[in-house]
Structure 1
Amino acid sequence: MERESMEFDVLVVGGGPAGLAAAIRLKQQAAARGQELSVCLIEKAAEIGAHILSGAVMDPKALTELIPDWKERGAPLNTAVTEDKVLVLTETGARALPHGLLPDCLVNHGNYIVRLGNVVKWLGEQAEALGVEVYPGFAGAEVLFDEAGAVKGVATGDMGVGHDGEPGPAYQPGMELHAKYTLFAEGCRGHLGKQLEARYHLRDGVDPQTYGIGIKELWEVKPENHRPGLVVHTAGWPMDNATYGGGFVYHLEDNLVAVGFVVGLNYTNPHLSPFEEMQRYKTHPQIRKYLEGGKRLAYGARAIAAGGLQSLPRLIFPGGALIGDDAGFLNAARIKGSHAAIKSGMIAAEAAFEALAAQRQRDALTAYPSAFQDSWLREELHQTRNFKPYMKKGLWLGSFLFGAEQKLFKGKVPWTLHNSADHLALKPAAECPKIAYPKPDGVLTFDRLSSVFLSNTNHEEDQPCHLRLKDPAVPIAVNLATYDAPEQRYCPAGVYEIVRENDVPRLQINAQNCVHCKTCDIKDPTQNIDWVVPQGGEGPIYQGM
């Protein structure tokens, strides 16, 4: 069946902070000049905010620039930070770092503890009120190009395709959405963004992106264990000194506590399981004390782009731009990304609006990277650019070097350290110690499947698998033989499983469990797994995560 098509001035792919900020900014500028501008935003989740997962402590700086009266409009930034703690954990003990030794990036005065999914939902309401056409449940599945090779939009995914790739009885072809400019805001490791980087060589001359995986739970805790506004960050146990990782405990309103753990995906031991490390983390006395007697309400996981300034790709190409975490605008040292996503979306939108006002279309939005170079966002990322490379040197040495650079020089040093690709870091399993993880108790610690249940994840089983193997032989011939099938452990949702039939191993992919974290696409040692979008509206449904 032939696809139908729709035309817009600007198309935004992705309904997170960056995409919604861009859409809002475009409409604001059009209104200020009395011009008509058609803006369409598509989002693969069933509703705006349903695929959003973040810690999250939010710096309101960019939001204030975008919507100065956000408080009066009822933005759900309900819990101001009242206290910061940074703890270095041993297996049973903890040492608090003195506030005087903390670099500015770890001080959260003036910030808010938020449920980012709720903030994004509110941003979606603001966008719709301005006339943005918002379409959740539509996944951007394919980039479309015009005759000159410029991006002219995207096609949404076909619906009702069977597991064999053939149209089923409920088949509906995707739509073509054409635009004068297309902004890609898919979030971390966006699958269209990855294609655009390859087609237009956007990563030539820059460092590889480096990532972490963040695993988060939302708990309702006993009132006596709740301290609204408390932010706790931890380093050390359960990670060893050579492996980057750290945890957080954020006390929200209404007796809610967000607890999570981040593991850098440059870890070397293929026996390591980020999910199990997160469960183990909760058993530490300094973390357990907040959760005991409480109830786990929600679970989720996502990859985090952590490379910083030196890992940003070229942002533009004919017909469009990468914004937010599709480019990697996250400040890992600050443990924050939403303010950076919003700012990047705003300046890209301003560049697109000026191009349209000049009656240009589908050229390179050179004003966007130029404005970024002159922005506070670039200055902030430049100041902390060496954080992740330092931390790859080990907890103690890395912390000392980064802390000295920040406290003594405010990041204004003449050197920039470099990042390497995470998938190259794994050592053969035979060279690494196995890790004995305790069994879950079902009260404080849990297994993967009960956790995925809390993410409300759903995929129609009769559809092509959205986790594609470039070579079906590699999982057994290489991953199992050399690395003891690490995909069984780095996936936080139990998607990958080695099963044996007559003692012959094969990889089983339980794609219906996928929470869209993209870790497999990043960490697979042979880069054999390609994550693509499933049917629109599928995946997790996070409730204010």
Structure 2
Amino acid sequence: MSSIEVEAQERESMEYDVVIVGGGPAGLSAAIRLKQRAAEKGVEIDVCVLEKGSEIGAHILSGAVMDPRALYELIPDWEEKGAPLDVEVTEDRFLFLSESAARTVPNWVLPDNFKNHGNYIVSLANVTRWLGEQAESLGVEIFPGFAAAEVLYNIDGSVKGVATGNLGIGKDGRPTENFQPGMELHAKYTLFCEGTRGHLGRQLQERFELRKSSDPQVYGIGIKELWEIDPAKHKPGLVIHTAGWPMDSKTYGGSFLYHTDNNQVMVGFVVGLGYSNPYLSPFEEFQRYKTHPEIRKFLEGGKRVSYGARAITAGGLMSLPELVFPGGALVGDEAGFLNASRIKGSHAAIKTGMLAADAAFDAVQASRHGDKLVAYPESFKTSWLYTELYRARNFKQWMSKGLYVGTLMVGIEQKLFSGNVPWTLHHQHADHEMLKPASQFTPITYPKPDGKLTFDRLSSVFISNTNHEENQPAHLTLKDASVPVSVNLRTYAGPEGRFCPAAVYEFVKNDDGSDRLQINAQNCVHCKTCDIKDPTQNIVWVTPEGGGGPNYPNM
């Protein structure tokens, strides 16, 4: 019996008013808001949250400096309730780096988007765990370790809900002795909050043509490490951002170094995935960055505690798809609400979770099922979040034109006009279209890691606590198995091995001397970079068994 036949015969179902896919800030905020509205009205509403990570927060990775504005709206007494926002920003520094020197930008020159007064340095994973506790205390049912693997549809084409993935399917696609069929979760409305490049969200955007009126979405990859450093070097509340080296002036990228509590710093690097040089490796660029004198001085003598990587949406307002479709909505980073100019998305995730929840609650109370939650995009357009994103709408487009032109124009727009300019720039190309043939470039020779300040991929993946059940179908799939060698290796020198930050892809020799792509899916940290940057769009990331992937303890 095939897994499809077993699934059709044995899959059971559960009914809810609202099903939420993804237990991050967007999904949990939506769940909390739904229960709050129900309590205010004295009615019941059944809400469940599906989270593919082994626990709430396991897959959450962000810088992060958090703007608490939306949290104040969702839970005004968050401080009394113990939200882990403990380190308020005390100082901002913005540096332009050359290979051996740094130039500090005076704070009076910085536009407001680079200032963090009133914001907090947080572990977003821990904030998310706290949000999960608040949701559960209100009666939200949360199912960690269950990945939503399939969208279900009604006869009229509206979204009916989702099905979780089967457990115990072997590599051959057939049930093993540990087989457990997935569960169908039916709802009046389903909110998709999977985060950047969500597996189901991507399918929904194609099915309902949600991107026909928007610019292509563009992305960055963020790579982060958590360090314990010498207490003498630790300055709680210090926020450092940099631009320039090790990126060349044509390639979008930048860094962050945040001093949190317990003598720890969060250090990371973001590279825009619209880069053209196939020899560029974001992971190695991050390792090089740590060797800069201004960064090395904080980290030397310290200890690396954790590692992770995640793609981030960077297109802003112009790249937002239509947010609603019959029976559901896209929320948070699933849609792309991150404000790249501020390097912040958690406040947008919380706010859009609230807005979508309000629309879903009103629809359920009005006994509407399966229509479009038009109140959600309408309320977004009258919100402070829309105003914020509108003012930042040209940021990534300008920065894609190079460091110097971008810095000048962003400075003019944000400092002189607060983003209220009469022009709007558009994204012209998706990131996978930007890679150029390797013949146009010289290979980049990166220094070998020293194991103290710089590291290799495998040792990094080890401390991300990444694990997948070995005997399961590959969640990194190829549309055509011949393309990696015939196109990617031949034309682009095999960029998979460089744009992946987790040593998932490597080209190896067969016995006859021919090349083949080996996929080490066990290493995957679910960053989604391969799904975004593969120049032929031949790699498709699908959800593995629930509970697999990284387990970020404090990231």
Aligned to 2:440: 431
- The alignment status of 1:114 with 2:122, answered yes or no, reads yes
- The alignment status of 1:530 with 2:554, answered yes or no, reads no
- The alignment status of 1:146 with 2:139, answered yes or no, reads no
Aligned mate of 2:291, from 283, 290, 310 = 283
Residue 111 of structure 1 and its aligned partner are, at CA, apart by: 0.1
Runs (5+) with no aligned partner, structure 1: none
Aligned mate of 2:453, from 421, 436, 444 = 444
State TM-score, norm by structure 2.
0.98
Give the partner amino acid of 2:546. G
Give the partner amino acid of 2:259. H
Residues 401-440 of structure 1 aligned to structure 2 (within 5 Å): 401-419=409-427, 420-440=429-449
Using the alignment, how far apart are the partners of 1:199 and 1:287 within structure 2? 46
Q: Deviations over 1:404-448 (max 9, x none)?
A: 011111111121111120000011001012111000000000000
Using the alignment, how far apart are the partners of 2:279 and 2:233 within structure 1? 34
Using the alignment, how far apart are the partners of 2:471 and 2:508 within structure 1? 21
Aligned mate of 1:467, from 470, 476, 480 = 476
Residues 157-176 of structure 1 aligned to structure 2 (within 5 Å): 157-176=165-184
Residue 262 of structure 1 and its aligned partner are, at CA, apart by: 0.3
Aligned to 2:304: 296
Aligned to 1:493: 502
Using the alignment, how far apart are the partners of 1:50 and 1:314 within structure 2? 29
State TM-score, norm by structure 1.
1.00
Aligned to 1:510: 520
Q: Deviations over 1:282-336 (max 9, x none)?
A: 0000000111110000000000000000000000000000000000010000000
- The alignment status of 1:458 with 2:458, answered yes or no, reads no
Give the partner amino acid of 2:525. V
Using the alignment, how far apart are the partners of 2:312 and 2:336 within structure 1? 9
Using the alignment, how far apart are the partners of 1:414 and 1:167 within structure 2? 59
Using the alignment, how far apart are the partners of 2:450 and 2:148 within structure 1? 40
Residues 279-428 of structure 1 aligned to structure 2 (within 5 Å): 279-419=287-427, 420-428=429-437
Runs (5+) with no aligned partner, structure 2: 1-5
Q: Deviations over 1:459-515 (max 9, x none)?
A: 111111000100111000000000001000000000000000231100000000000
Residue 539 of structure 1 and its aligned partner are, at CA, apart by: 0.3
Using the alignment, how far apart are the partners of 2:362 and 2:554 within structure 1? 35
Misfit runs of 4+, over 4 Å: none
Residues 145-224 of structure 1 aligned to structure 2 (within 5 Å): 145-224=153-232
Superposed CA RMSD in Å reads: 0.5
Q: Deviations over 1:136-195 (max 9, x none)?
A: 000000000001100010000000000000011100110000000000000000010000
Q: Counterpart of 1:506 in 2: which secondary structure?
A: strand
Using the alignment, how far apart are the partners of 2:108 and 2:276 within structure 1? 34
Aligned to 1:12: 20
Using the alignment, how far apart are the partners of 1:287 and 1:459 within structure 2? 34
- The alignment status of 1:76 with 2:84, answered yes or no, reads yes
Q: Deviations over 1:236-289 (max 9, x none)?
A: 000000000001100000101000000000000000000000000000000001
Q: Counterpart of 1:207 in 2: which secondary structure?
A: coil
Give the partner amino acid of 2:495. P
Aligned to 1:541: 551
Give the partner amino acid of 1:223. P
Q: Calculate percent identity across the aligned residue pairs.
A: 69
Using the alignment, how far apart are the partners of 1:417 and 1:211 within structure 2? 17
Using the alignment, how far apart are the partners of 2:290 and 2:504 within structure 1? 23
